[in-house]
Amino acid sequence: MAYSNPQQGSGEEMKRLRAEVGKRLRTMREAVEKTQREVAAEVGFDYYTMVSQIENGKTRIPPSQVVSYAKALRIPPKEFAKLLMQYYDPLMFEILFTNKHER
Asked whether residue 8 carries a pLDDT value surpassing 70, the answer given is: no
Q: Global pTM?
A: 0.85
User: Which among 18, 12, 1, 10 has a CA at the least distance from the CA of 89?
Assistant: 18
Query: Residue 22: pLDDT above 50?
Result: yes
What integer is the mean pLDDT of 22-32? 98
| Per-residue pLDDT reduced to its tens digit, 10-21 | 589 999 999 999
pLDDT digits (tens, 9 = 90+) for 58-90: 999 999 999 999 999 999 999 999 999 999 999
User: Cα(53)–Cα(58) distance, rounded to whole angstroms?
Assistant: 5
Among residues 97, 96, 75, 64, which one has the least CA distance to residue 25? Answer: 75
From residue 4, give the alpha-carbon distance in Å to each of 10, 12, 49, 89: 10, 10, 28, 10
Mean pLDDT for the chain overall: 90
Q: Is 7's pLDDT higher than 60? A: no
